[in-house]
Amino acid sequence: MEFKLEYLLTGLVLIALVIGLFIYKAVKNGGFKSAKLTSGKDKISGAISSPKKLGILLGILYGISIRIIWELDQLKGIGELVTISFMFLVPFVIGFIRIHYEAKVNPQLSIINMLIMPWLPIFIFLLTTVVTLLEGSICVIIAAPAFMFFASLGGVAAGLLSRIFNNKGTLTCVAVLPLIIAPLELNYLELSKTYEVKNQIEINATPAAIWSQLGNIQDIKKHELPLSLTTLIGIPSPVSAQMDGSQVNSVRTSRWEKGIVFKEVITQWSVNKRMAYDFEIDPNLIPDQSLDKHVKLGGEYFSPLSGQYEITPSATPGINILSLSTVIRDDTNFGIYSRLWGELIFSDFHNSLLGLIKNRAQSGASFAQGS
């Protein structure tokens, strides 16, 4: 197996978690005040045997272990990260583990506690993947709501089942669920789909003034783009776009921050009305550190396929409507969850670009009219 820095960092973080748990328990119980070595050992062993702490620690270890193992090339077809099994079932198991052990010492847990307590190991697990470079901020932010929701479901399931079966055999049955379902999902479930995201904006400028801002977009300044969701979660911003012609089959080269470059081949060109294009993205030319590997443009799991700008008149004289649409391919099995995130991110990105074009077109139109 190829050595990866991420694995070394993960091991160090997990060791630190275990040591930190021991020290916390020893200090809390006055272990460092005792002059007897055996007493100190008893304090530390108490940290291991504490059901509450054990549930947190084992939940984190379970998540990290699956995260590392399923990334191995040798296990392709048996387990992968961008699957329902990892995205939904693994956090369910983490939440189940947390409450399974909590219920041993607190069998009368309320439903609210069953829902909320599983979030701690989830937060520590996600933070660990960022600190150890296993994941980037984009993937973690996208995954966090699903992880919290399914961890809560797992917590409620563990709490209710503990009252029925008295914690006998349920943990093992639940823990192996992702391992059983993942191979079936990878080999028999295919939910690849495409969908379109479309947004529009009203602009107080002529179609010609708007059109002049579409093909070539030069030197985009930071202040021209609003603070938005895409920038907050770490998605690079556009820097410029340059056309090499003004007809069908011309190529528009888009440049983003962090060295991202891709091409858009013009498929429709109707001056002052419509510009459509197909994306031509070579994932090998996208720097590895520019985007998280699981959301890489043109990558294995999703990619924009085509796009279109269209200018139409509005009912208000002097006002025109500029729309921007993108067709996206989604090769994950996350269904509505990935669709919601895709629409949210692309709508946010569209609105930033449309706002930029509006401001530039209206400024140019005002200047022309004033001259």
Q: Give the DSSP letter of residue 152.
A: H
Q: Cβ of 257: how many Cβ atoms within 10 Å?
A: 14
126-130, 132-136, 328-332: range with lowest mean pLDDT:
132-136
What is the per-residue pLDDT across 295-345, written as a single tens digit (0 to 9) for each?
Answer: 777 777 888 999 999 999 999 999 999 999 999 999 888 889 999 999 999
C-alpha to C-alpha distance for 156 and 58, rounded to whole angstroms: 18
C-alpha to C-alpha distance for 154 and 207, rounded to whole angstroms: 55
- 285, 254 contact by CB (below 8 A): no
C-alpha to C-alpha distance for 176 and 19, rounded to whole angstroms: 28
pLDDT reading at 7 higher than 50: yes
The predicted pLDDT at position 79 comes to 82
- Percent of the chain exceeding pLDDT 90 equals 56
Q: How far is CA 296 from CA 1, 76, 236, 324, 368, in A?
A: 24, 19, 12, 22, 41
Q: Please give the full DSSP string across 123-151, using - where no structure is assigned.
A: HHHHHHHHHTTSS-HHHHHHHHHHHHHHH
Indicate the domain borders of the chain.
Answer: 5-188, 193-370
C-alpha to C-alpha distance for 190 and 185, rounded to whole angstroms: 8
C-alpha to C-alpha distance for 140 and 294, rounded to whole angstroms: 11
129 phi/psi in degrees, rounded to 5: -65, -30
pLDDT reading at 235 higher than 80: yes
Q: What is the mean pLDDT of residues 83-91?
A: 94
pLDDT reading at 2 higher than 60: no
- 69, 79 contact by CB (below 8 A): yes
The predicted pLDDT at position 367 comes to 37
pLDDT band at 10 (very low <50, low <70, confident <90, very high): low
User: What CATH topology corresponds to 193-370?
Assistant: Alpha-D-Glucose-1,6-Bisphosphate; Chain A, domain 4 (3.30.530)
How many residues are there in the chain? 371
pTM: 0.81
